[in-house]
Amino acid sequence: MSRIGRQAIAVPPAVQVEVDGPRLRIKGALGELEHLVPAELEVEYAAESSAIALRRRSESRRSRALHGLHRTLIANKVRGVGEGFSRTLELHGTGYSVNVRAGRLVLQVGFCNEVTLDLPKGVKVDVEQNAAQADRPARFVIRGADKESVGQFAARVRAVRPPEPYKGKGIRYEGEYVRRKEGKAFTGLER
């Protein structure tokens, strides 16, 4: 058996789980998420022990592959509706700034126009520190209950202006190391 798949998922007291055939509904303080379990697996929820168990219907290659994957996806949704997920991004560059206006993320990252991105459903952005404090980069946090949508939106934002290796300017994750390159060197040869 899959070592990850056979582990039971502990459900916190603040989270409610509903099993309706292959559909799993998970409700918590931060929202409600659904998960559709494939036909190769069956899900059991024991309310007295507050744990979710995932079992394989057969030992086929496909069901073994899906076992650990769906256990992890369900565990992420249980954690997401209770605690939530977040990604912190930083803007490195002179004059770069970030704002949230009317459900849209507005970035000024060195282009002639502002870049606006619509926030996905269930995702919020908090601007912790903007470009007013020039000694530190602007920081903002993307939060939400669904780990996939938070990570996907963070990747979309970073792709607007990825960090470049010469000056280090761009949008990067907090703690991300950017390997710097040396610029063109002047040889000093005279004719």
Report whether pLDDT(188) > 70.
Answer: no
- Give the residue from 59, 82, 105 where a domain finishes: 82
- Asked whether residue 44 falls in the same domain as residue 118, the answer is no
User: Residue 179 above 70 pLDDT?
Assistant: yes
Neighbour-count burial for 106-128, b at 16+ CB within 10 Å, e otherwise: ebbbeeeeeeeeebeebbebeee
The verdict on residue 179 lying in a domain is no
Cα–Cα distance measured from residue 106 to residue 150, given in angstroms and rounded to the nearest whole number: 17
In a domain? residue 133? yes
Q: Please check whether residues 33 and 111 belong to one and the same domain.
A: no
- 94 and 130 share one domain: yes
Percent of the chain predicted with pLDDT > 90:
68
Asked if residue 58 and residue 136 are part of one domain, the reply reads: no
User: Structure pTM?
Assistant: 0.86
What CATH number should be reported for the domain holding residue 120? 3.90.930.12
The type of residue at 91 is L
- In the predicted structure, residue 181 carries a pLDDT above the cut 70: yes
Task: Considering only residues 23 and 188, tell me which one the structure prediction assigns the higher pLDDT.
Answer: 23
> Is residue 81 within a helix (H) or strand (E), and if so which, with residue range?
helix 61-82
Tell me the residue range of the domain where 35 lies: 9-82
Same domain, 64 and 75: yes
pLDDT per residue as tens digits for the range 125-161: 999 876 555 567 889 999 999 999 999 999 999 999 9
**Residues 126 and 163 both lie in one domain:** yes
183 in any annotated domain: no
Determine the 3-state secondary structure of 120 from DSSP: coil
Helix (H, G, I), strand (E, B) or coil at 45: strand
**Phi, psi (deg, nearest 5) at residue 63:** -65, -35
pLDDT digits 0-9 by tens, 50-68:
999 999 999 999 998 899 9
Q: Residue written as tokens 């602007």?
A: 138
On whether residue 180 sits in a domain, the answer given is no
Residue 1 — very low, low, confident or very high, per pLDDT cuts 50/70/90?
very low
Number of domains in the chain: 2
The answer to whether the CB of 65 falls within 8 A of the CB of 56 is: no
CA torsion through residues 63, 65, 68, 69, sign? negative
pLDDT category at 5 given cuts 50, 70, 90 is confident
Q: Are residues 162 and 150 in the same domain?
A: yes
Average pLDDT over residues 112-127: 93
Model pLDDT, residue 131: 57
Are residue 78 and residue 21 in the same domain, yes or no?
Answer: yes
* Residue 33, CB-side half-sphere exposure with 13 Å CA sphere: 24
